[in-house]
Amino acid sequence: MMQMQIGLLPLKMEGQRLLLVDQRKLPGGLEYFDATSFEDLCFAITAMVVRGAPSIGVSAAFGLALEAKRQATMASPSDFMAKMTESARILNATRPTAVNLRWGIDRIMNGLSTALKNSTLESENVLAAKAAFADAEQILDEHIQSNKAIGEFGNQLLPSDCNVITHCNAGSLAACGWGTALGVIRSAHFAGKNISVFVDETRPRNQGANLTMWELTEDKIPATLVCDNMSGHIMLHKKVDCIIVGADRIALNGDTANKIGTYNLAVLANYHHIPFYVAAPLSTFDPGISDGSMIPIEERDENEVIFQSGQSITVPGARAYNPAFDVTPASLISAIISDRGVLRAPYSESISLALADKFGLIEIK
Ligand code: MRU
């Protein structure tokens, strides 16, 4: 079996600078956005320079660790933590749906508060900030590992000849390294299976057309771009073996939030008796919510719908509605492919088991 070469990572550190792949510019050009300052990081998440739930979480962790370094010499440990708590609150408000954002922030903040428990010396802030940076690097490595585990578990579900539909971009740019939904597709392809992919363009921001097609083409995995409204026709007239999508937040009962249009795909897949798989790391599960009705759905600017490449596609003064995500009920999900294994219904049981067991990460050679 071919060795897994991870794809382009969504971020890199250059000295003390946090550089993000500007995903708005792909596939036209590979540019890096300097998100070293706290304000630039918050802008980069809101404006979707970096996007995709796991990559948002990892970028937030690095950004908050850099902020800790900046603030470390400025105050006593208690003032420092008060400042960091405020920064964490601002960062967490940049986008509401992807729970990985809060997950990444909590990991760093828990590390800081543990390190500074009962501390009074300013010098300890510096040590805590250093540890926070090591945490961020650990989080990135964990996601690279978890991507690979998801790929391996998901590959076992796919037949040797397999036509897949995927939605949005859940690849190395969105998930750090190998991808979640695209990680499954990559693992199957590089395991020698005959995989071909129908890629939803994913209006209004076209993550499928811009990013997923780019990643699959880079890996020479056969892919066909389709409009989001073609899924039903494709399922009726073409051989589709399964649907694989990513996730932004998974509730304890399995209800899953993902890019708008995912719910449509799930309903169609069930009507056509086609397996519908969700692929996601444990950092995307939200143990704090029991079902999907509690997932906040981001509504973005109407102009993302009205304008394409700067051109209006409608009449002057038109209004648009732009929910960025929808929720697929657990009843429509055939399996959730996680980094702890393939979870099946009843999800309240399998998810609780997986969350309880999350520490034993599998190392895929
Ligand atoms: O608005 P985006 O581009 O951040 O939405 C991304 C998605 O919905 C992805 O499918 C999801 O985050 C999974 S990424 C591995």
Give the three-class secondary structure for 364: coil
Query: What is the token pair recorded at 254?
Result: 């399995």
Contact 223, 257 (CB under 8 A): no
pLDDT confidence bin for 122, thresholds 50/70/90? confident
Contact 115, 131 (CB under 8 A): yes
Confidence of residue 320 (pLDDT cuts 50, 70, 90): very high
Give me the half-sphere count of Cα atoms (radius 13 Å) on the Cβ side of residue 153: 27
- CB 49 less than 6 A from any atom of ligand 1: no
- What DSSP letter does each residue of 152-214 carry, written as one string? HHHHTTS-SEEEEEE-S--SHHHHTSS-SHHHHHHHHHHTT-EEEEEEE--TTTTHIIIIIHH
- pLDDT for residue 362 is more than 70: no
pTM: 0.95
Q: For 347-350, which contacts have Cβ atoms below 8 Å and span 24 or more sequence positions? A: 347/252, 347/253, 347/254, 348/252, 348/253, 348/254
Test site for ligand 1: of 94, 169, 172, most ligand atoms within 8 A of the Cβ: 169
Structure tokens at 261: 């249009």
Query: Cα separation of 7 and 160, whole Å?
Result: 23
Q: pLDDT per residue over 7-57, tens digit each?
A: 789 999 999 999 999 999 999 999 999 999 999 999 999 999 999 999 999
Q: What is the pLDDT of residue 363?
A: 41
Distance (angstroms) between ligand 1 centre and the Cα of 313 equals 24
* C-beta of 175 in contact with ligand 1 (< 6 A): yes
Q: Residue with structure tokens 């690279």?
A: 144
